[in-house]
Amino acid sequence: MKRILLSLFVAVIVFGASAASAQYPQFNAPDDRPIVWFVHGMVTVQDKFEKELAELREIYPNAESVELKKWNSPKLNLVQMGPAWSISLENAKQYAPVLADEIIRLPAHRRNRLVLVGHSLGGRIVINAAAICQQRNITVRKIILAGSAINNDDPNITATLAVSQEPVVNLVNVNDAMLAVYKVGGEFAPALGTGYLYPVDPTRFIELTMDGSVNHFGFEYLENYKKRLKTGNFTNKYIVVPQDFSNVDFPTLGGTVAWDALDSCSGWILQHNQVTGHCRIIDPDGIRKAWGRMGKMQIAFEKVKQQLVLRQANRPATPTAKDIAVIQDFYNWDRSTAGGDVWWNNIDQFRGWKLQQHKLTGHCRILDESDVRRAWGTESNMQKSFDDVKRQLENR
């Protein structure tokens, strides 16, 4: 009975992932059982990596083996992270050629089943080992990078594209607290784990974003990846915006003063400051998502546009409220409302959308079918905007 249940579980995982997306093939044939190597990151006193290995066994339930590749990272407390980082960085550099040599010495039929998974500094090790393998024309089955602690403009990253037979998966978390420390006190540059800086073939290098967590644990990255495989949902909730200088998201006025728009796409704008010369990227809600030097921000915006084009191509056939363009009057930040039952009068409404006027101030606003405020301003301008909204709703 247990064997039957296990077989059914494996079948569900395999079928769910392969049916959902051909980009994520699973290992099916008996002689095609994966060999999974997990390269850990910097070690603290709590780390045993049992949870990471358990997640990988669930991701690859028919694996021949799931092995922890140990390297010499000092097992120190968090208060000793400074010395530990310096030692770990040097030891990671020394271990990369050792790992590459072990890969190269594998028989070809075993390399073709090898899945390399690198977390944090382990991602750096995997990338640098891949650069050595590329020089020898050696390939493996797949490379998975999770919260990788390596500069996101490191030239060796492209080697993973040549070495991984399947698309490389880069698990990204822009909120990862340790990667923020990496940028401030480590390499002084954004990490690959917060998003690859350069545009790349999305069928060969796939970035999947974590949702909300600030943790750097490898098992959380892998758990998120496992959920993606089970559901077949590989559409990121967030657009990955590669960074240059350290950024805290905050609302802007849209850049109508002192800013020139250099490029735009689907409401996102790349702007150049007329005084300082630096650039920034703002999203459709006017939130600054990144800022820095012009060259870096131009590259970052190309990456943003690439994601927006993919999202547009994968958009469901049924339009949503966000598909309706609402002409603005005053600067607006979309926000949920209670529907306006107390202080608002409905002037006009159409298919769940409402044009309302405040009983005291007299200003107007437009609410969508979910009672989210999409625009506000003077009565005359909001009336014109709402007429345009109705025309769009009629043509759906």
pLDDT of residue 43: 76
Predicted confidence at residue 56, as pLDDT, reads 96
Return d(Cα 150, Cα 192) in angstroms, integer.
6
C-alpha distances in Å from residue 391, one per residue of 160, 384, 387, 394? 49, 11, 6, 5
| pTM of the shown model | 0.69
pLDDT at residue 378, as a whole number:
93
Query: At 282, which amino acid appears?
Result: I
CATH code matching the domain that covers 2-231, chosen among 3.40.640.10, 3.40.50.1820, 3.65.10.10, 3.90.79.10:
3.40.50.1820
Q: What's the confidence (pLDDT) of residue 185?
A: 56
Q: CA–CA separation, 224 vs 209, rounded Å?
A: 9
Considering only CA atoms, give the Rg of the chain: 25
| CA atoms within 13 Å, Cβ hemisphere of 306 | 20
- Per the structure block, which two tokens stand in for 318? 């049924």
pLDDT mean by block of 10 residues, the chain; 396 residues: 36 33 44 91 74 94 94 70 80 96 96 96 97 97 96 94 96 86 69 88 89 83 90 79 82 87 91 95 90 93 88 59 76 77 89 91 90 89 91 80
pLDDT of residue 186: 59
Could you state, in order of their start, the residue ranges of all structural domains in the chain? 2-231, 250-313, 321-394
38/54 Cα distance (integer angstroms): 11
